[in-house]
Amino acid sequence: MTQATVRNINTLSKAIEEHNYRYYILAQPSIEDREYDRLMQELIDLETKNPHLIQPNSPTQRVSGEPTKDFSTVTHSEPMLSLDNSYSESDIEAFHRRVTQSVNPGRVSYMAELKIDGVALSLIYKNSILIQAVTRGNGTQGDDITTNARTIRSIPLKLHKPNINCEVRGEVYMEQGDFIKINDLRKKASQPIFANPRNSTAGSLKLQNPAVVSERKLRFFSYSLIEKNSNLTLQSEHLNRLLSLGLPVNPNRCLCKSLNEVFKFYQGFSETRASLPYEIDGIVLKVNNITQQSLLGHTAKSPRWAMAYKFASYQVRTKLINIELQVGRTGTITPVAILDPVKLAGSTISRASLHNADEIQRKDIRLKDTILLEKGGDVIPKVVSVISTQRPNDTEAYQFPTTCPVCSHSLVRDEDEAAIRCENPRCAAQLKRRIEHFSARGAMDIDGLGPAVVKQLVDLSLVQDVGDLYSLGIEKICSLDRIAIKSAEKLSSAILASRAQPFDRVLFALGIRHIGSTVARTLSRKFRSIENLKSASLNELESTPEIGPKIAESLYTTLKDKSMITLIEKLKTAGLQTQLSDDTTDSNKGNPLIFNGKNVVLTGSLEKIERSKAKTFIEQLGGNVRSSVSTKTDLVVFGQKPGSKLKKAGELKIDTCDETQFLTILTEAGLEL
């Protein structure tokens, strides 16, 4: 080892980090990509020859180590609170009045920043070196994803100033261009595409292989600095401090001394947000004065000194080219609008659900119409209305087909619903959807049995019903296109492993109309076996709590059907769990049933957990999720803007808890959020 080698390594490391800073932070690259790659390769070669000189914060160490098997849980030094949301000027004016009435002096200025649609992340630096990166999680605890965060090149591994101990909070995001490239690759690999950049970002951060995370080209904007003994008094000063430490800060921000300036900033980006390389869903207002922030404090879930001012949904016009019909697992026919592709909220939209025949008739949607398209919550595209003034003269009212588009069987209108169904049990489209439902995560959880594989199994007549999955050998699976021996072995193992899923999951997986996971769990607890369910009378089924006439009739009729009887016998022969064992109560085995028998109502907007996931967790802990508050309600869990349900809970003196408290309950019960 020579001093020259040490100097060369240090010089190269500093040069590469400086170029990273110029490229990712300042957006002012000073060298060509080829020259950057040459410098990196030179450093790699030197470190390969002198491995004892490799430093943890070397640019070459952003992707290193073995894939992570799991992510440990970390408690945040201070809670990562959510923000209250607003969609109107009047809400912002009310927020401003509350702020000015609470602080003295009353004059307040705001730091307005863009609300990046990404994933919140906390970075811990000790002696200026990145030592830990933690997701927001439930606000109190998050996952340690340090190895993955190190792959994000806009996150410095070493700060620009020495001896700094601090916590930096910000947002990880993905640019639109990179998102499109990833989805293109996933399409070619017959993998499910991501719904939006935020969805892709969240999924990427939880990957167990940092090398794959690195390929996703995630980015980071910082917006908060927690530094002990800091003498900074303004949010704007904190942002400047972050920049001086080498951290990226969004340049699109504004110090607003009046609400008029706030509204001007909001309106400007509401009109131009589509031109940004990343997605935003609003702006964030923060009281600029840190002392005033402290005076205002926070609630259990949100700071009183900040507010998210969100944009209205995107709307665009486009042409309706065709209406395709999709067949669901129970035969329900769903019309789908095929559109002239149009950019909407950062993604290209070419399809949108029309829900049912009544919806088409109500909105008088016709082929060749110009329609107004909107993204609900900036995620799901929907047809808002027809632009009747642009309707061609030769259009006619849409006539819903009378036969199934797949099997040509006659379609039947459900008397009690808007649904139109194909009642042919051998319809190939229904079979595909039934297998997909059977293998889904909430049912039998068969990893690897995606739509592309299911399509081949049905089209090649290898599977006539879900019971045939358990007689598939590796040889048959290998006969499928693009399935190698290792993938076949993995899928075969997943199918066989699913036989251990508990009875309530098997019942749900059968796909009986109106039998969701909650109903399946209720039925499994009372009747304890499929045989008891088959022999139960209609009256016995209806007398079960929460089982109404429609559910009872569907279950009673289906379990008497010859094809279902044959399928159940096939599943029993294959070794699936069709009854509860003596030491099993339900699929929640291992977790305390802290909600056992309790009726829980969810109300308001939940920010930290999806409502469907919250519902699943309550059920796993023995509870029943109800839609309305009554004297039989045991607990009301509330999010933002809870409305009348929370008020009624107060009147009836029913226990309540906010989202943060609810997540704490789940965490203490041992659930992984």
DSSP 285-334: EEESBHHHHHHH-B-SSSBTTEEEEEPPPPEEEEEEEEEEEEE-TT-BEE
Residue 363 annotated among the catalytic residues of the structure: no
Residue 64: alpha-carbon gap to chain centroid:
27
CA distance 335 to 400: 9
Alpha carbon 138 to chain centroid, angstroms: 14
Q: Kind of pairing, strands 599-603 and 624-626?
A: parallel
* Edge-to-edge order in the sheet of strand 655-658: 624-626, 599-603, 635-638, 655-658
Q: Is the peptide bond before 197 cis (omega within 30 degrees of 0)?
A: no
DSSP annotation string for 2-49: -HHHHHHHHHHHHHHHHHHIIIIISS---S-HHHHHHHHHHHHHHHHH
Q: DSSP characters for 423-486?
A: --TT-HHHHHHHHHHHHSTTTT--TT--HHHHHHHHHTTS-SSGGGGGG--HHHHHTSTT--HH
3-state secondary structure of 173: strand
Please identify which of the residues 115, 432, 570, 615 carries the catalytic annotation. 115
> What is the DSSP track for 587-630?
TTTTS--TTTT-EEEEESB-SSS-HHHHHHHHHHTT-EEESS--
How far apart CA 577 and CA 530 sit, in angstroms, is 9
- Residues with a catalytic annotation lie at 115
